Amino acid sequence: MAFFLSQTKYIKDILSEYGFTRCKPLRLPMDTHVKLTHNHGVPMSIPEQHQRLIGKLIYLTITRSDISFTVHTLSQFTNTPTSVHFHAAKRVIRYLSGSISQGILLPSHSAARLTTNFDGDWAGCPITRKSTIGFYVLLGDSPISWKAKKQAVVVSGVSRI
Q: What are phi and psi of 131, to 5 degrees?
A: -90, 150
Query: Could you tell me the pTM of the whole model?
Result: 0.82
Domain ranges for the chain: 3-109
Q: What are phi and psi of 120, to 5 degrees?
A: -155, 160
What confidence score (pLDDT) does residue 129 get? 81
| Average pLDDT taken over every residue of the chain | 90
d(CA 85, CA 92): 11
Are 100 and 68 in contact by the 8 Å Cβ rule? The answer is no
Highest mean pLDDT among 5-19, 27-41, 112-126: 5-19
What confidence score (pLDDT) does residue 149 get? 86
Q: What are phi and psi of 70, to 5 degrees?
A: -65, -45
CB proximity list for 87: less than 8 A, separation 6 or greater: 41
52-94 pLDDT, tens digit per residue, is: 999 999 999 999 999 998 999 999 999 999 999 999 999 999 9
